[in-house]
């Protein structure tokens, strides 16, 4: 099995790489933004060093191939040799690359998230026409639902909630393109993760955003009031659950199709619950949780507050019945946030909230 993977240098993509290295019969062609294939190979090597430090498994060299590509270009801008490699070997696609900057101008967000998806689908359609494509996995987000009041099911194709930002809007537009391809016969799987945080076992993450900004502010004594709905739902999932789920859905011989919510399901937390966990773990006074949403005046987090605050007044519930029916028999389940929250905090402190970095493998030594 050879998988074409976009987003290999991103947080989720890196986790998918580790699972491919561990697998016995999965090769991965990584499309990496770079000037040429040699530059792409150097970027892949740097990513592997972030994961494994100086002890990169030998399987990484034999199973992972880096090619230069750009989401904004037709055919991903692949060179002739890379395009031929994709045509001859690739049988499955996992499109995990995206711009996750929430405040990009709409045209810039569309160039990556919408147009980029169209270009990946162009390759998928071509492989499908050749009879080679077995599965195309598109990584979306549960927040394509926007400001939706009520339960969002995995069957919901059109959701009318107003997008909070250009990220949500362009990811929703991308889903429309993917569903059009599915209607044309392309074997499509859509996965919708919610808020992805560090590994539930080690806490490791290279990205300290969304959930982490109020936690960091609390740890520094900068928040007396949290601008959020006390009954708001904070749907958090650890990256290991999301990566395990995507790897399974991409590689299982079972016939899987449709949309899967990679969300907390019955374990979703309310803002009040999150504050209780945070203050206990950080040993800090409990701030007031006070709607309506307001600006947060805290050193160094004003911009982040403006971007991430809307995710703390969410009232949508994401039903994950289909995902659990497929994943739980394979031993893949999302743990409750309370079971691993202490480990998230332990790693965040060890990494000084992102100021220090350590290889993923070294995070196993961090104890809560």
The predicted-structure confidence for 217-259, as pLDDT tens digits, reads as follows 888 888 788 878 888 999 999 999 999 999 999 999 999 999 9
Neighbours of 160 (CB within 10 A): 9
Residue 262 near residue 237 (C-beta atoms within 8 A): yes
Residue 324 has pLDDT above 80, yes or no: yes
**Considering the domain 195-236+267-316+336-368 in this protein, what is its CATH number?**
3.90.25
User: How far is CA 361 from each of CA 45, 54, 351, 366, rounded to the nearest angstrom?
Assistant: 15, 10, 14, 10
The predicted-structure confidence for 297-322, as pLDDT tens digits, reads as follows 444 444 445 577 788 889 899 999 99
Q: What is the pTM of this model?
A: 0.94
Residue 65 near residue 89 (C-beta atoms within 8 A): no
The predicted-structure confidence for 27-53, as pLDDT tens digits, reads as follows 999 999 999 999 999 999 999 999 999
Residue 83 has pLDDT above 90, yes or no: yes
Neighbours of 89 (CB within 10 A): 15
Residue with tokens 């919408």: 114
What pLDDT sits at residue 305? 54
Sign of the alpha-carbon dihedral angle for 185, 186, 189, 190: negative
* Cis ω before 215 (30° cut-off from 0): no
In the DSSP assignment, the letter for residue 164 is S
Query: DSSP alpha helices (H): ranges in the chain?
Result: 11-22, 37-52, 58-63, 80-89, 106-113, 115-129, 166-183, 212-219, 239-251, 271-282, 302-308, 321-327, 337-350
């Amino acid at each position: 099995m050879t998988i074409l993977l976009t987003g290999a240098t991103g947080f989720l993509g890196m986790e998918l790489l580790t699972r491919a290295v561990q697998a016995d019969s999965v090769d991965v062609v990584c499309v990496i933004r770079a000037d040429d294939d040699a530059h792409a190979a150097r970027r892949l090597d740097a990513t592997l060093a972030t994961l494994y430090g100086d002890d990169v498994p030998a399987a990484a060299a034999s199973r992972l191939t880096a090619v230069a590509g750009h989401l904004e270009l037709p055919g991903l801008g692949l060179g002739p040799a890379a395009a031929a490699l994709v045509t001859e070997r690739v049988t499955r696609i996992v499109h995990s690359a995206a711009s996750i900057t929430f405040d990009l101008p709409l045209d810039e967000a569309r160039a990556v998230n919408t147009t980029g998806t169209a270009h990946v689908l162009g390759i998928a359609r071509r492989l499908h026409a050749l009879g080679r494509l077995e599965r195309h996995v598109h990584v979306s987000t549960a927040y394509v639902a926007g400001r939706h009041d009520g339960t969002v099911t995995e069957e919901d194709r059109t959701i009318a909630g107003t997008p909070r930002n250009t990220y949500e809007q362009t990811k929703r537009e991308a889903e429309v393109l993917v569903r059009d391809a599915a209607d044309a016969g392309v074997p499509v799987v859509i996965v919708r993760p919610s808020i992805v945080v560090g590994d539930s076992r080690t806490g490791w993450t290279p990205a300290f955003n969304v959930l982490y900004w109020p936690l960091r502010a609390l740890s520094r004594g900068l928040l007396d009031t949290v601008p959020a709905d006390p009954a708001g739902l904070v749907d958090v999932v650890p990256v290991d659950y999301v990566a395990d789920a995507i790897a399974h859905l991409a590689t299982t011989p079972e016939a899987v199709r449709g949309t899967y919510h990679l969300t907390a399901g019955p374990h979703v937390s309310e803002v009040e619950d999150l504050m209780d966990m945070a203050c206990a773990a950080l040993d800090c006074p409990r701030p007031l949780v006070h709607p309506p949403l307001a600006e947060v005046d805290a050193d160094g987090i004003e911009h982040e507050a403006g971007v991430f605050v809307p995710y703390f007044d969410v009232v949508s519930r994401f039903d994950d019945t289909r995902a659990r029916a497929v994943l739980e028999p394979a031993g893949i389940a999302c743990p409750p946030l309370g079971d691993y929250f202490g480990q998230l905090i332990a790693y965040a402190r060890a990494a000084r909230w992102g100021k220090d970095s350590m290889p993923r493998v070294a995070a196993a030594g961090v104890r809560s």
